[in-house]
Amino acid sequence: MIVPIGQALLVVDGDVRRDLASRAAAADDFGHIVHHMPEAVVRPGSDGDLASVLRWAARNGRRVAPQGRRHSVFGRGQAAGGVAVDMRGRCAVHSVQRDWVVMDAGATWRQVLAATLPQGLAPATLPDYLDLTVGGTVSVGGVGATTSPGVCRATPSASWRLSPAEG
């Protein structure tokens, strides 16, 4: 899909939404206090789409905000005038091993448990709300209101596939 945003073209395999309802949803979060409207919402069809969005944003000086369940507050997960990336469709749990799980950033802790519990396994620590995304939890350091002292949900992360700002 090729979509003009401002003076530049964004090319992705997935879906790009520019309608007011999609953009307004991406401009809201758990706190419902701050609202920064993006120019578009991308639902990536591939990992390559994430790199394309990052390249586009770097070339055009725009913000990018990956979003899962939009459980952040004060607009921290919003992209004023940029692109919000709806990660909920990137939610597969690819494999479960005795000491690691391979999953997409949009996978929720509930989905991780659904994949691990049948094998008698579970993460060492979990958030109190299982419908948060793993990527969102890690992006805030794995720490929340119910985190036990000395336990961080981000520390078990052994590897990441990352895209640099230039895509």
H-type alpha helices, 76-167: 109-116, 134-139
Helix (H, G, I), strand (E, B) or coil at 78: coil
Asked if residue 67 and residue 101 are part of one domain, the reply reads no
| Cβ atoms of residues 120 and 103 within 8 Å | no
Length of the chain: 167
Residues 28 and 10 in one domain: yes
Confidence of residue 38 (pLDDT cuts 50, 70, 90): very high
Give domain status of residue 161, yes or no.
no
pLDDT tens string 126-165: 888 899 898 888 777 766 555 666 555 555 555 555 555 5
Structural domain span for residue 40: 2-88
Cα–Cα distance between 6 and 57 in angstroms, integer?
11
23 and 81 housed in the same domain = yes
Same domain, 28 and 60: yes
**Total-model pTM:** 0.80
Q: What percent of the chain has pLDDT over 90?
A: 35
- The DSSP symbol for 71 reads -
For residues 31 and 79, membership in a common domain is answered with yes
Q: Residues 11, 83: one domain?
A: yes
In this predicted model, which residue has the larger pLDDT, 92 or 11?
Answer: 92
Domain co-membership, 108 together with 74: no
Residue 29 has phi, psi (to 5 degrees) of -145, -170
For residues 70 and 124, give the distance between their C-alpha atoms in angstroms, rounded to a whole number: 24
Q: For residue 14, what are its two tokens?
A: 């997935």
Q: Is residue 65 part of a domain?
A: yes
The helix or strand, by DSSP H or E, that contains position 48, with its residue range, turns out to be: helix 47-60
Structurally, how many domains does the chain consist of?
A: 2
Task: State pLDDT tens for residues 45-59.
Answer: 988 888 888 888 888
Same domain, 83 and 104: no
Q: Looking at the domain assignment, is residue 147 inside a domain?
A: no
Q: Whole-angstrom Cα distance, residue 25 to residue 36? A: 10
